Amino acid sequence: MAEGVDGTMLETTGQDGSYALRVRITEQQDTGTWTTQLTARIPGDDAPALLWLDVVNPEVLAPEGEEPRQRRQWTATPRLARGLLTVLPAYDSTARLDVRPRQISGEEAHELVDVVRDARR
């Protein structure tokens, strides 16, 4: 690994034939600590596999003398997410995830509202 980068990988196989993998990479940069965590679970039955990607970016604190507040630094779509979306069919409930945003109009707006309000998300 590179200087300032630490990685951890955990994996397990269940008695039902399921498999789970978690990889976490922590990077110490000038802007703070960035943590990327990828979790994959392949069930032992016919249920769909699960892939979960988290990116935790550093907090930005208010400059001295201003009211205390915290917010996260803006980050672009991680290259790992973009790469995964180009090779895997990915969904958030009924919404198909893609590398590029999709413009919708008219009746499609109702479909979007249904997706956003979907309790399974």
**What Cα–Cα distance (Å) separates residue 51 from each residue in 5, 15, 54, 65, 67?**
23, 20, 10, 43, 39
pLDDT of residue 46: 86
pTM above 0.85, yes or no: no
Residue pair 97/90 in contact (Cβ under 8 Å)? The answer is: yes
pLDDT of residue 70: 64
pLDDT of residue 13: 96
pLDDT of residue 62: 64
What is the chain's pLDDT, residue by residue, as a tens digit (121 residues)?
A: 688 899 999 999 999 999 999 999 999 888 788 899 999 999 988 888 899 999 888 776 666 766 656 667 777 888 888 999 999 888 888 888 888 888 888 888 888 888 889 888 7
